[in-house]
Amino acid sequence: MSETESIRISDVLRQALPVWPLLWALAVLLVPTLITLGDQIWATELGAHGPIVLVTGLWLLSKQRESFQTLRSPPSWPLVILGMLLFLPIYIFGRAFDLISVEALGAYGAAMTIVYREYGMRAIGANLFPFAYMGYLIPPPGWAINTITSPLRAFVSYTATHGLHYLGYPVANEGVAITIAQYQLLVEDACSGMNSIVGLSAITLFYVYVLHRGSWRYSLLLTALIIPLAVFINILRVVALILLTYYAGDGIAQGFLHGTTGIVLFGLGLMLMLVLDHTLRLILKRQG
């Protein structure tokens, strides 16, 4: 090895050395939380988008490496200390009492504080979307899900049953309880629209950022259409489960087909979003 190569390697090691403690700190915070998320949340429909968000979010951040170096600025140490004093207790409390939403929030806040300590506010501000997008890794607490999904469940139940009743099926509903022939179903949180709203909004925002970030008005329009699209998809899901129950029995509908319909219709939601994007662009192009 030449002397010049030895000098270059030593320079790289000297520059990387101060970063290693921060990388270890990030690993200590994030790895246990990511493992818990994988065990408790990502295996459910509500958190199925988590691995996608993690991979695509890290990809977005990796594409901005030069931006981080160029815009690096000194941090405000009082803010660093304040961030750690705020988020580390939140992380410890959530970890100790197995509150994954609280734990993930504390880990996310502490990780952002470490990034701010290393790169400063200018670099974070210039790459705000990837950091905000990674916030989708924080699962919403149960009480928030119940509050938000309660009216959605009632609306989905009413729309699905009245549509099938109009077609002649012996179906009725009382709140979120649906009766079809001799069977009774409950429109649970999985069919309320919340799962699709969270997952579709995450993936759509990524899609909008990558392809349409130059037009913020169009991006807002496309993003605003996520909620009605997700609710429509869940109405289709409830209709499919009611028909499966009616024709194949409760055991079939509530078995593996219950999850399968969710996956199929989630994929349909993504396809409809792509079709909607293409259609809107054609309409705007003709009007322009």
> Residue ranges of the alpha helices (H) in 47-173?
50-62, 65-70, 77-96, 100-126, 128-134, 142-166
In our burial notation (b when 16+ CB lie closer than 10 A, e otherwise), range 249-287 reads eeeebeeebbeebbeebbeebbebbeeebeeeeeeeeee
Amino acid identity at 165: H
Distance from C-alpha of 53 to C-alpha of 27, rounded to nearest angstrom: 18
Task: Indicate the number of domains in the chain.
Answer: 2
pLDDT at 252: 66
pLDDT at 214: 59
pLDDT at 125: 92
Active-site annotation holder among 14, 95, 237, 281: 237
Q: Are residues 126 and 200 in the same domain?
A: no
Where the chain has pLDDT below 70, the residues are 1-20, 22, 188-196, 214, 252-259, 261-262, 288
Distance from C-alpha of 265 to C-alpha of 24, rounded to nearest angstrom: 40
Return the residue matching tokens 């990502």: 42
Return the residue matching tokens 């709140």: 175
Q: Are residues 108 and 148 in the same domain?
A: no
Last residue of a domain, one of 92, 119, 138: 138
Q: Is residue 191 among the annotated active site residues?
A: yes
pLDDT at 288: 59
pLDDT at 116: 92
pLDDT at 253: 61
pTM, two decimals, is: 0.80
Active-site annotation holder among 191, 217, 281, 286: 191
Helical packing angle, 50-62 and 20-40, nearest 10° = 160
Q: Are residues 21 and 69 in the same domain?
A: yes
Q: Which domain holds residue 172?
A: 143-287
Q: Are residues 93 and 53 in the same domain?
A: yes
pLDDT at 5: 47
**Could you read off the pLDDT of 13-41 as tens digits, one per residue?**
344 445 567 677 778 888 999 999 999 98
pLDDT at 57: 93
Last residue of a domain, one of 93, 108, 138: 138
Last residue of a domain, one of 86, 116, 138: 138
**Could you read off the pLDDT of 52-65 as tens digits, one per residue?**
999 999 999 988 88
Q: Which residues are CB-neighbours of 113 under 8 A, at least 6 positions away? A: 80, 83, 84, 87
